[in-house]
Chain A
Amino acid sequence: MAMLRIDSLVKVYRDVRALDGLSLEVKEGQIYGFLGPNGAGKSTAILGTLGLIYPNSGRISLLGKEVFRDGKFSEKALLEAKSKIGYMPEHATLWDFLTPYQTLDILADSFDIPRTERGKRIRELLETVNLWEVKDKKVGKFSKGMRQRLLLAQALINDPELLILDEPMSGLDPKGIAEFKEVIREQKKAGKTVFFSSHILAHVEEVCDTVGVIVRGKLRLEGNIKQIKENFLKKAGYLILLETNKPVSFEGVDWEVERVSPTKYKIKAPGDIREEVNDLVWGQGAKILQLMVRVPSLEEVFLSLVKEED
């Protein structure tokens, strides 16, 4: 079953087309990384999915039920879906005058979680995000990292089937990021579906099964990280940095070779040609001092997609 399905979603803010016919599907049990540069439309897509903004057109289905069509949300279907969804927004603060325990308690109340279960659930969540020790401290006194962890905890309060996280790791230190990834892995183990956005490849690389890349409101690439990189490399080519002990000749090969110095070369090829380079250098009686292949970063993937668009 598709836990989230977006079809041809369009959202225009005055003269800016934030979503330009976005379509994507997140299947049950998937950890879907929604990648894109800043301003690509990631948050707009998420807000639209949850009925927090009104898209102009398109369709949205949550947990197999259509919640948005022809510019209108079905209030009943949306509320029903929300009862099984957890959402962590980007840039949000919770009520400073409440403690983390009180915050989760009042939010649990909105799902009608019985009082008897509520205490146990809140304790579990606060322990998961390492906030149990400060459960009675006012949120107003929390650091940014602690607030982020509380935001994650609130997203999990209803034990959601679908967890939607908007840039969840921004502002976290490496330890916090590692803990965060652990929580996502645990969700996956429990059979839950996670859809989360980021503009940093490293954040999604280890935990996601599938990645969708959004640029200028459209999904440009979709697949697993390895596939995306390979696809991109096929298009962009590999960059191989070579240093030898004496000059070598590249006559007869169809690679693009740039001589940086008499013994240093930058080679651009359609695939990983390190073995061929090795054979060529040894065949000419030279020795390799350094042979490196540089894989483009996700930022370079974004930039190349933007350039293509232009």
Chain B
Amino acid sequence: MWWGFKLELKKGIRTKKLWAVLLIMLLLYIPVIYLLKQGTGSGGEMSGEAAMAIMIQFITGMSMFFLGIVAIVMGATSVNKEIEEGTIRVVLSKKISRLSYILGKFSGQSVVFFGAVLLAVAVALAGLAYVGVDLTGNVVSDVLLLNLVLFMVMVEFLALGYILSTFLKSSGSALGVALVLFFIIYLVIPIFVQYEMYTHAPGDISEGGLRDLKADYYTKYIFYSPTAQVEVITSYVSDYREVKKTVDTPKGKVTYTKSIPTYNGVGHAIRTRWVNVLLLFLMSAAYLALAVVRFVRMDLR
């Protein structure tokens, strides 16, 4: 396993995969930091919590989209491309077992992602410091945890890609299927699930209640989608406090309930939605196990 890991790590760095992932993360972080700077430039001071809330709101969705594509595409072409090129036949003619090779390869690619994530954390923290946010322990841990959750999304998509790579012999076909599958998982299925959720939601449901309902639906029906799980987790970084407000209207006084979000942090969200974090782990393991079972029995020609 160590041998495959080392080779994949070298590949990741020398073929610039690491840098591609990092570049995507930077392209996402830099505009957000710019926005934060604009916000603080108008005289107000920005707290770490407010900055984090903005960062999560802007970055999570976009980074899941771009990094998810990168990960599933990398996974979908990882084995079949090596069969096409013949390198896998050279490698497995050496004193290396199939199991150790695929696990080493997967670990190597995951570590490349992890390296990119750590660099992105450094950039995010530097950016927050630049806009004047006080880098308290909470802010640092939130940035780190947010990126670790994104890392888990990448790992799950990578494992999903491995399944395609071991079942589809042509890397070109696998690439196409991977992209279609990604869009189905990321966009199409959540739309149907949300539609179903809204049709069953009570009419007077509060914002917090709607969030809980969405979390239930996503956990139950899209447990295999890493992006859906992260969407659930990040929706819990803030809790809603309901405040009754009264306004004067030409028809008289009207009282309504307003949900005010209170930032609790990524750690709080992870603790609250540990089921979704567990699902990220379990589904990654399940996808990888399926790919491994297939790989150890497949004809490498």
Contacts and interface: CB of A to CB of B under 8 A. Distances in A.
Interface residues of B, number: 23
Interface in B79-100: 85-87, 89-97
Interface of B: 3, 6-7, 10-11, 14-15, 85-87, 89-97, 297, 299-301
Given A47-B89, A52-B301, A107 B94 contact: yes
B54 to A, nearest CB: 39
B301 A53 contact: yes
A89 B87 CA distance: 9
Contacts of B89: 47, 50, 52, 87, 89, 92
A94 B92 contact: no
Nearest to B15: A97
- Which of B14, B86, B89, B93 has its CB near the most chain A CB atoms (within 10 A)? B93
A93 interface: yes
Interface string A136-160: 0000000000000001001000100
Given A79-B95, A110-B96, A87 B300 contact: no
Nearest to A48: B299
A95 B6 CA distance: 14
Contacts of B87: 92-95
A95 B7 CA distance: 10
Contact of B97 (A75, A86, A87, A90): A75
A97 B15 CA distance: 7
Contacts of A218: none
Given A47-B300, A52-B301, A110-B3, A93 B86 contact: yes
A111 B94 contact: yes
Given A53-B301, A54-B299, A82 B94 contact: yes
A86 B97 CA distance: 16
Interface in A171-203: none
A123 interface: no
Nearest to B296: A75
Given A75-B97, A82-B93, A109-B6, A95 B11 contact: yes
In order of increasing CB-CB distance, the 8 nearest A-B pairs are A92-B86, A87-B93, A53-B299, A110-B94, A89-B89, A97-B14, A83-B95, A52-B300
Contact of A154 (B6, B85, B90): B90
A87 B90 contact: yes
A91 interface: yes
